[in-house]
A and B are shown apart, each in its own frame.
Chain A
């Protein structure tokens, strides 16, 4: 499970992890820059609860991270199965006026704007592992689809871009948005809300696409059926 981590824009403190039936776990940082904790329960069990709480101070900077070695993130220019550009995305891209943009930041703004205005939010239209290409063909979807489409378009432009999962004030679920590398800085763009990522956002994890970022990942031994529920609460602290 991923844990929020300090970036230029946010500072995390007082993180507490509580689990129902497991005390020993390990913490690691993965190479996308995420922090996660993990473990193994050998005994059979019918239920597992985990709660993570903490405090986030946000809006400390306008970008998340500065990058020195440009090749460190070159792999984020490469499309994945979920972001692979097909005919629809290529056509959509050809209709965008990238010529008039000065650099990656403006291109990302253009994509965010255009996509927000042409794509319809609809929580019933797409599947969990929908590709950007299919979602664009449908013309509707959720934050994951907005994000995948935007990633696909930016990567076609040769801009390193990553999928981000996090939380927003007021929402009862996790949210997804895009980060793009512009002039050595990673900036957050939220195409679903047509907003630059600001102090309303708490960032949890990032990766090549949604499959790298699912907040919880697990593996069972033996045959099981499972049900998973997730709740997110974000409250503003006074002062």
Chain B
């Protein structure tokens, strides 16, 4: 570990050399920033990883079952496991996707599952990201560069190499590919995660495109070269959100989408990773029901726990939330990226009364959770001292022929000692995540 700390300057220099950046919009202007990296990795023992792996596969498999049920027969609603309000009024439920079966029946190919570890060593699931989870490229390149800057740190540690992420991703793309090339569809270079889009394209051999070079003709998707020749596309790893994907089906004003791509997808002539409509499964309101889903579809108990969650929608839960308001964190189900999160204890008396009134008028809009006592990770502060900070872990689960968990992950930390918010859009940094091979 000392080896890694000693070479902090070197690794930062290398990260700058390779432009490991993310974009950020402030006051309407686009800026790229280096993604702050902390050299001390999160270390996960092999036995612990096996446990996580089992739980994560189970969770993603159940979520995939849920998606195919919801856009199919809707048994889980009929059987009263999830109230229909939570499904059909979720922002992510897209009626145009009803009845559509994606190639090979997979909805969530790349899932980013956010977890935290508590002081008593338990892991809790914080949220599921089944639409376009980002972040895998950062630990990938950080590992590559840290192996150059501090090789000795790796020789004695038996760390599983995480640079195979590109192969895992390519495997999944190839598995669902309907005949043709793989492409990565990016909204363009002024997107926060453009570094990742271009890096994954390079490493998987997929073609990076912004959609301008793609046409849909006779329900097939083609990539057009400079002489006007067309090449069939079999799989699109799209990094643009559902609303913008196809102006003919979704948001009509979208200029980054591809007209009629949804029709080609519906007719099975191209695979979309991830499937449109997945937002219904990673909705914060649906989160509460995931352990029930696991039981319902797989007949198993959930291996990984949710953070204890209450739905004010249910009368008993509402009562609990009001009685214990100060010890809970309340989340607006429609918000993401660390926004719309309120800690009960942080509100003034007036704000609290205001918030409770809102909660009572729109109970379906909120969930309440116990505040988890995070197990903090050490980071190196600018003076070179090790200080504890809140951190989470985004695990990447890839579902192709079989479901696999990437033996690494994105560990994000808050740079502010008082903050629980680790999102890069709010100034957080990242660490590499080591999974030990023994």
State the A residues within 8 Å of B (CB).
24, 26, 28, 30-32, 38-40, 42, 69, 71-72, 74-75, 77-78, 208, 211, 217, 219
Contacts and interface: CB of A to CB of B under 8 A. Distances in A.
B144 interface: no
B248 A219 contact: yes
B95 A71 contact: no
B218 interface: yes
Nearest to B259: A219
Nearest to B76: A71
Contact of A28 (B73, B215, B263): B263
A92 B78 CA distance: 33
Contacts of A77: 88
Given A69-B74, A74-B87, A38 B248 contact: yes
Nearest to A79: B89
B45 interface: no
Contacts of B84: 71, 74
A116 B25 CA distance: 49
A40 B248 contact: no
B259 A40 contact: yes
A40 B247 contact: no
A208 B95 contact: yes
B169 to A, nearest CB: 30
Contacts of A28: 219, 263, 266-267
A71 B99 contact: no
Contacts of B100: 31
B106 to A, nearest CB: 20
Nearest to A30: B96
Given A71-B74, A75-B93, A26 B98 contact: no
Main secondary structure of the interface of A (DSSP, over half): loop
Contacts of A31: 95-100
A149 to B, nearest CB: 20
A210 B425 CA distance: 36
Given A31-B95, A69-B74, A74-B77, 18 more contacts: A26-B219, A26-B263, A28-B266, A31-B96, A31-B97, A38-B260, A39-B217, A40-B260, A71-B78, A72-B98, A75-B88, A75-B95, A75-B98, A78-B88, A78-B89, A211-B252, A217-B248, A219-B252
Contacts of A78: 88-89
3 tightest CB-CB pairs across the interface, nearest first? Answer: A71-B74, A31-B98, A75-B88
Residue in B78, B95, B96, B247 whose Cβ sees the most chain A Cβ within 10 Å: B95
A197 to B, nearest CB: 22
A3 B247 CA distance: 19
A184 to B, nearest CB: 15
B216 interface: yes
Interface residues of B, number: 29
Interface string B209-224: 0000001111100000
B247 A71 contact: no
Interface in B251-268: 252, 259-260, 263, 266-267
A39 to B, nearest CB: 8
Contacts of B96: 30-32
A24 B78 contact: no
B121 to A, nearest CB: 41
Contacts of A217: 248, 252
B268 to A, nearest CB: 12
A61 B89 CA distance: 32
B93 A72 contact: no
20 contacts: A24-B217, A26-B260, A28-B219, A31-B97, A31-B99, A31-B100, A38-B260, A38-B263, A40-B215, A40-B217, A69-B73, A74-B84, A74-B87, A74-B88, A75-B88, A75-B95, A75-B98, A217-B252, A219-B247, A219-B259
Nearest to B228: A42
Contacts of B218: 24, 26
Interface string B56-79: 000000000000000001100110
Interface in B176-235: 215-219
Contacts of A38: 248, 260, 263
Contacts of B219: 26, 28
Contacts of A69: 73-74, 78
Contacts of A26: 218-219, 260, 263
Nearest to A25: B218
Nearest to B216: A40
Contacts of A71: 74, 77-78, 84
Most chain B beta carbons < 10 A, residue from A74, A77, A211: A74
A74 B82 CA distance: 13
A26 B93 CA distance: 26
Contacts of B89: 78
A133 B89 CA distance: 19
A200 B219 CA distance: 36
Interface in B92-140: 93, 95-100
A26 B74 CA distance: 30
A42 B215 contact: yes
A211 B250 CA distance: 10
Contacts of B247: 219
A10 to B, nearest CB: 23
A220 to B, nearest CB: 10
Interface string B253-290: 00000011001001100000000000000000000000
A137 to B, nearest CB: 21
Contacts of B259: 40, 219
Contacts of B73: 69
Contacts of A74: 74, 77, 84, 87-88
B220 to A, nearest CB: 10
A208 B94 CA distance: 11
A32 B249 CA distance: 12
A78 B95 CA distance: 11
B83 to A, nearest CB: 11
A32 B97 CA distance: 10
Nearest to B71: A31
